[in-house]
A = this chain, B = another copy of it.
Amino acid sequence: MTGSFDADRPIYQQLAHRFRERIVTGYWQPGERMASVRDLALEYGVNPNTVQRALAELEREGLAIPERTSGRFITEDEVLLRSTKRQLAVEATEEWAKRLRALGLNRAEGAQLAAVVWTDNHEPNGHEPGKPDKPDKPDKGE
């Protein structure tokens, strides 16, 4: 079981989000073959149906390509990978700004909070005890 899930949102959406992160960060390399639906279900402690539902989203986005009988593969479209990564970062930042504006905070106050949070919680990496280190490829973010 890799991590756990919020009870608030559908698991298949949280799964899709984690898969997206693994793909755009290069944790799963372009062209690489993904683990099977059944193996991923075991790894994450959920039902294979739930994994399949999550993967259906990634296929609609073109990040994963199903091969019907031989497995599922990560896209090699580097442009798509970069733009998806950028979009995820922008969305996260827009939501954050929206929430802070709803609280009546301005840009300067947001920046100050960001500085505090980014220095305090500094857990450099969240490695699973039993999992080997993957290439990761820093990618120098945009």
Contacts and interface: CB of A to CB of B under 8 A. Distances in A.
Number of copies: 2
Interface size class on chain A is: 35 or more
Interface in A11-50: 13, 21, 24-25
Given A9-B8, A13-B8, A100-B89, A94 B107 contact: no
A109 interface: yes
A103 B9 contact: no
A133 to B, nearest CB: 15
A81 to B, nearest CB: 12
A92 B100 contact: yes
B94 A95 contact: no
B21 A141 contact: no
A92 B99 contact: yes
Nearest to A118: B107
Interface in A74-97: 85, 88-90, 92-97
Given A9-B8, A114-B110, A114-B114, A25 B93 contact: no
Given A97-B114, A110-B114, A114-B111, A25 B141 contact: no
